[in-house]
Structure 1
Amino acid sequence: MDAQLELIREQQKEVWNKFSPGWKKWDDFTMDFLQPMGDEIIRALNLEATDHVLDIAGGTGEPGLSIATIVKKGKVVITDLAEGMLAVARDKALKRGLNNVETRVCDVSELPFDDNSFDAISCRMGFMFFPDMQLAAKEMTRVLKPGGRLSAAVWGTPEKNFWVAAIMGTIQKQLSIPAPPPGSPGMFRCGQPGLLAGIFREAGLKNVTEKESDGKMHCGNAENYWTFMNEVAAPVVSALSKADDTMKEKIRREVFALVEKHCPDKKANLDYGALIVSGTK
């Protein structure tokens, strides 16, 4: 990995560790929101009770912990760049009495595992942030056993994800934030249909499939949405740190108006759209 990609990785590690307390606070809400994508990954992996599974970018533990309840005679290794996130995962595993779970701080581009080590690999909402997605896919393929399955979820295009667009679109409009360079890590980097599937095929995977997963983030009201995004979404916090109090309040009011226009019942059920991409070694 070149120096620029290593810098991105270290910056990401710092950010995820910094925001791990917010993710712990909102864990029940976030895991409920993301569960449908985890369920789709699990279905695609077609797991056996004895499987050894690698969950990459597992954060606070899902879908790895759910997988651990299926592979009762096997094992799940949950990896992430951020030790703070994995500490939450370990605590949850302990509370659930799961003794077939291990956590490991590591970089997806340099996985510390032997070739052909795992029966299946899951990765929920990680690929779009990897500095080098092709290298990540090749590393996953390397540690996957022949015949093993890899399944990953990524966010779709911005127009299918109002839960992000409502706040980030408003911030970008009001603060005139320049767009990131094309292809740089970000929420919607893998949103174009076929992009991640192509990366999987180039890494040597076969029988690659792509499936859409759409639903709602159930926030309850605009205030909860605003608070959540300001406590777990690093791009939101970073952008708003550049605004003074008057501008922050202007942005907040505009976001509330957008959410309430989109959801007249004022319950802030906000659209999301994801892609589930799977393949076999």
Structure 2
Amino acid sequence: MEATLLQIRDQQRQTWDTFSPGWKKWDTWAMNFMRPMGNAIIESLHIQPAAEVLDVATGTGEPGLTIARLATQGHVVGLDLSEGMLATARENAAQQGITNYQAVAGDVCELPFADQRFDAISCRMGFMFFPDMQLAAQEMYRVLKPGGRLATSVWASPPQNPWISTMMGTIASQMALPTPAPLAPGMFRCAQPGLLAGLLRNAGFQHVEEKTVTGLLTFATPEEYWQNMLEVAAPVVAILSKADEATRAAIKAALFAALEQQVVDGKIQLPFASLVLSAVKS
């Protein structure tokens, strides 16, 4: 890869390693939050008992660990840049008694696997952070067997995701935020409908299908939401690190006021939406 892409990759690795303790702390919350997207991915993959599966951007292990329970006679490789995240994935596998899951450090743009190795590939919330999304799609295509299936999810647009846009919008009301470079890695890089589908088709995939999965994320209190964002949301922490104490206090006060408007039945309820895509290697 080009030097600039390698730099992006190394920055991503550093970021996820830095935030891996927070993701470990909030792992149960995160896995419950992400389960609808994981379930949609698994449903699209049609996992067989003897399947060999690659779970790209496996993070703390899902949906790879759930897939491993289905591929009882097969094997799942969970791949991620971050050794910090993978350490939690290995702990989760051991705690759950899952022996056919292997956590491996690696780069999706340079997959360390032979051609036509896997029957299926899952990738939950990873594509938007890859340095070169087209190269990543090509690499996934390369390591899939003919007839193999890929399923992936990415975030839909900011207005469809108040669970994070509430925080970012509040920050923007108190601070001047830099405009991100076009298609720079970030949460909403793949939000435009059809963008990721086009990348998959360009890589050679056929029967590309795209659907939207929605749900509600709940928090008991504004303080719980604030702490969650500070411990798992790297973009939020990066921005707040540039705020002085007064600005940070103003952001927190405005955020809490906004969250109070989202209380239903005593809990803060924030919608989320993702795009889930599936495709087949010819």
> Could you state the TM-score of these two structures normalised by the residue count of structure 2?
0.98
CA distance in structure 2 between the aligned counterparts of 1:257 and 1:238, rounded to whole angstroms: 22
Deviations 1:158-214 (A, max 9, x none): 000001101111112311011101111110111111111111111100000001000
SS of match in other structure, 1:49: coil
Alignment of 1:90-239 (within 5 A): 90-239=90-239
SS of match in other structure, 2:98: coil
SS of match in other structure, 2:187: coil
- Are 2:37 and 1:15 equivalent residues in the alignment? no
* Contact 1:220/1:269 (8 A) holds in 2: no
CA distance in structure 2 between the aligned counterparts of 1:231 and 1:188, rounded to whole angstroms: 20
* Contact 1:260/1:266 (8 A) holds in 2: no
* Contact 1:52/1:120 (8 A) holds in 2: yes
SS of match in other structure, 2:139: helix
* Contact 1:56/1:78 (8 A) holds in 2: yes
Structure 1 counterpart of 2:73, which letter?
K
CA distance in structure 1 between the aligned counterparts of 2:260 and 2:135, rounded to whole angstroms: 42
CA distance in structure 1 between the aligned counterparts of 2:186 and 2:128, rounded to whole angstroms: 6
Q: CA deviation at 1:265?
A: 4.3
CA distance in structure 2 between the aligned counterparts of 1:169 and 1:182, rounded to whole angstroms: 19
- Stretches of structure 2 that go unaligned for 5 or more consecutive residues are none
How many residues are aligned here?
281
CA distance in structure 2 between the aligned counterparts of 1:221 and 1:120, rounded to whole angstroms: 40
* 1:71 match: 71
Deviations 1:36-59 (A, max 9, x none): 000000000011000000000000
* 2:82 match: 82
- Are 2:257 and 1:250 equivalent residues in the alignment? no
- Are 2:47 and 1:47 equivalent residues in the alignment? yes
- Stretches of structure 1 that go unaligned for 5 or more consecutive residues are none
Structure 2 counterpart of 1:80, which letter?
D
Q: CA deviation at 1:258?
A: 1.1
SS of match in other structure, 1:69: helix
> Could you state the TM-score of these two structures normalised by the residue count of structure 1?
0.98
SS of match in other structure, 1:44: helix
* Contact 1:157/1:191 (8 A) holds in 2: yes
SS of match in other structure, 1:11: helix
* 1:267 match: 267
CA distance in structure 1 between the aligned counterparts of 2:205 and 2:153, rounded to whole angstroms: 16
Shifted more, 222-231 versus 257-266: the winner is 257-266
CA distance in structure 2 between the aligned counterparts of 1:177 and 1:266, rounded to whole angstroms: 33
Structure 1 counterpart of 2:37, which letter?
M
Deviation beyond 2 Å, 4+ runs, structure 1 = 262-266
* Contact 1:219/1:269 (8 A) holds in 2: yes
Q: CA deviation at 1:266?
A: 4.6
* Contact 1:167/1:255 (8 A) holds in 2: yes
CA distance in structure 1 between the aligned counterparts of 2:216 and 2:277, rounded to whole angstroms: 20
SS of match in other structure, 2:18: helix
Structure 1 counterpart of 2:103, which letter?
T
SS of match in other structure, 2:103: strand
